[in-house]
Chain A
Amino acid sequence: MMSDTGSGKSAAGGEGKPDLGRRWVNLLLGTGIISTIAAFIYPAIRYVIPPPVSESTNLSVVAAKVAELKTNSAKVFRFGSEPAILIRAADGQYRAFTAVCTHLGCTVQYRPDLHEIWCPCHNGTYDLQGRNISGPPPRPLAQFQVHIQGEDIVVVRNA
C-alpha cells in the first residue's frame, strides 16, 4: 500500500477505499501549515493597528483671549486631538463648534463676508448655529459652550 508514494490519489482512489494513513498525514500537515500561517499573520495584522492613544480628557480649553477676537471674525484652536473653531459673530456673541467638517473631515473656516462657516474642500456651508445649510455635509457641526472667565474665553465640551 505504501509503495505508491508519489500519488496519494491512486493509492486512495484506485481501490475505492480511502487511505486513512495518508489522509491523516495530509490533515495533520495541512492543519499544521495553516496554523503556522495564522500564527504569523495574526500578530502582523495586530501590529499594523496602532495602539489606542489615550483621548484627551480635557473638557475645557482656553480658546482665546477676549482682546484677541474682533467682531465678525474667528479663530481655529486645538481642542483635545481635534481642531475647533471659535467665532465672534457680527452681533458680538461668541460661538464655538468642532472645526471638523461632517462631510470628509476637512477643517472648516469662518467666512466674514457671508457670515457662514465654510468648508473649502467640497464647498459645504453651515450657518452660525452649526447647521449644514448647503453642499455635501450630512450633519450639523457639534456645538460647544463658551464662557468668559476674566480675560480668557473658555470653551467647554458637554460631558
Chain B
Amino acid sequence: MAGLKRRFVDWLDERLGGGSIEEFLRHKKVPIHRHTIWYYFGGMALFLFVIQVLTGILLLMYYRPTASGAFESVQFIMTQVKFGWLIRSIHSWSANLMILIVFIHMFSVYFLKAYRKPRELTWVSGMLLFFIVLAFGFSGYLLPWNTLAFFATKVGTDMAGFVPFIGKWILVFLRGGNEVTGATLTRFFGFHVAVLPGLATLLLALHLLLVQRLGMSVPPGVEKKIKEGQEPERSMPFFPNFLLRDIMGWYGALGVLGALAAIFPWELGTKANPFGSAPAGIHPEWYFLFMYQTLKYLPAKIFFINSELLGLMGFGIAGAIWVLVPFLDYKTGFGKVTRFFTGLGIFALGYIIVMSVLALVG
C-alpha cells in the first residue's frame, strides 16, 4: 500500500514538477504565538463557503426563479422534499455564519496588521471577496420571494439609484426594469448562482495563492519580540498539524450548523405582494443593519443635498479607505505601527456594533 502511494506521488511529481506536492506540504509553516487562534478564521470561512456551494447545488434541484413559483418552490422544499428543511436551513444558517466569520477574519487581519507589506494584494483580494459575500447575501435573500425580502430588495436597489450619473442605469440593470418584479428575481438568481460564484472562485484562487506564496503574517508586536530575543520563534507544519486543528474546527462548525438548523429552522415568512403595504418592524439582514440605522438617522436633506446620496457617499468613501488601508498605512510595513489606523479600526468596529444594536432594540 505504501509503495503504491509512493509511486502515485512520484507519478504526479513527474508531471507537476519535481517534488512540488511534498515540498509544499513540508514547507508551509504556521507561526505559533499568542494570536495564532486568528489564523483559523480564514479556513473556517472557506469551509462554510464549500457548505454553501454544496447545499446551494442541492437547492437548485427544486428551486424555481419566477415570481409565481419561487415562494411555492421553497415551500415545497421545506415541507415536501425529504430533508429539504435541513438543506435550506443549513444554507441560510451557514450563509449567516460565513458572513460573521468573514467579519471576524477581516477585523483580526486588520488589527494584527497582516495587510502590511508585502501582503497588500492579499488584503485587497480579501476585501473584494468580502463585498462578493455581501452581494451573495443580498441576492440570495430575495430568492424565496417573501415580503421581507421584497421590501429589503426594493430599498437596497432604490439606494443604488442615488449613485451620481449612472444610478438610474444601475437601478434598471439590477431590477431588470423600473420596479422590483419577477424580472428582478430572475436576475438576482443569475447573479447568485452564476456570476458571483464565478467571481468568487477566481478571487478565492488569487487570495489563496497569495497566502501560499507569502506565508502567514506574524503580528508586528510578536515580530519585534522575536527580533529582540524576548520570545522564541515557534511554528508548526501546516500539514498535518494545522490542518488537523482546522478540521476539528470544521467538525465543530458542522455540529453547530446541524443544531441551529434543527432547533431553529429558517423561516419562510409570507409570500411577497408587490401591491401590499410594507409590514411593521421591517429591517434588513443583520449585516446591513448598521447602514440601515444610519439612514434612519439622516434627515431628508443636509445642506440642500439629498441625504441618501450623502449617506451612500459616506459609506463609499469609508469602504474605499478600508480597501486601501495597506497603502495608506504603509509605515506599518517598515515596522512602525501607526496608532491612527488602529483607532480607525476600533471606530469602525464600534460604529458597526453600536448601530446594529440600536437597530435591533429600536
Contact = CB atoms under 8 A, between A and B. Distances in A.
A120 B172 contact: no
Given A104-B308, A121-B155, A136 B278 contact: no
Interface string B165-190: 00001001100111100010000000
Contacts of B25: none
A136 B151 contact: no
Contacts of B155: 104-106, 121-122
Given A106-B278, A119-B278, A136-B299, 20 more contacts: A49-B169, A50-B183, A77-B275, A81-B179, A83-B276, A103-B300, A103-B308, A104-B158, A104-B159, A105-B154, A105-B155, A106-B151, A106-B155, A106-B282, A107-B277, A108-B277, A109-B277, A121-B282, A132-B300, A136-B298
Contact of B296 (A48, A77, A123): A123
Contacts of A9: none
Nearest to B298: A136
B306 interface: yes
Interface in A67-125: 76-78, 81-83, 85, 99, 103-109, 119-123
A135 B298 CA distance: 8
Interface residues of B, number: 32
A19 B277 CA distance: 71
Interface in A117-146: 119-123, 132, 135-138
Contacts of A136: 295-296, 298-300, 307-308
A54 to B, nearest CB: 12
A126 to B, nearest CB: 12
6 contacts: A78-B275, A83-B275, A106-B282, A107-B151, A120-B282, A122-B295
Contact of A138 (B154, B183, B296, B300): B300
A53 interface: yes
Interface in B241-297: 274-282, 292, 295-296
B301 interface: yes
Contact of A120 (B158, B274, B278): B278
Interface residues of A, number: 29
Interface of A: 48-50, 53, 76-78, 81-83, 85, 99, 103-109, 119-123, 132, 135-138
A49 B151 CA distance: 22
B274 A83 contact: yes
A121 B300 contact: no
A132 B300 CA distance: 10
B275 A106 contact: no
A110 to B, nearest CB: 8
A105 B278 CA distance: 10
Nearest to A85: B277
A76 B277 contact: yes
B301 A138 contact: yes
Interface of B: 151, 154-155, 158-159, 169, 172-173, 176-179, 183, 274-282, 292, 295-296, 298-301, 306-308
Q: Top 10 A-B pairs ranked by shortest CB distance? A: A109-B277, A138-B300, A105-B158, A104-B158, A78-B275, A106-B278, A104-B155, A83-B275, A120-B280, A107-B277
Nearest to B173: A48
Contacts of B278: 106-109, 119-121
A82 B276 CA distance: 10
Contacts of B277: 76, 83, 85, 99, 107-109, 120
B307 A120 contact: no
Given A49-B173, A83-B275, A121 B151 contact: yes
Contacts of B274: 83
Contacts of A123: 296
A99 B274 CA distance: 11
B282 A138 contact: no
Contacts of B173: 48-49
B300 A122 contact: no
A105 B281 CA distance: 16
A128 to B, nearest CB: 16
A50 B306 CA distance: 28
A44 to B, nearest CB: 12
A100 B298 CA distance: 19
Contacts of A85: 277
Nearest to A102: B300
B60 to A, nearest CB: 23
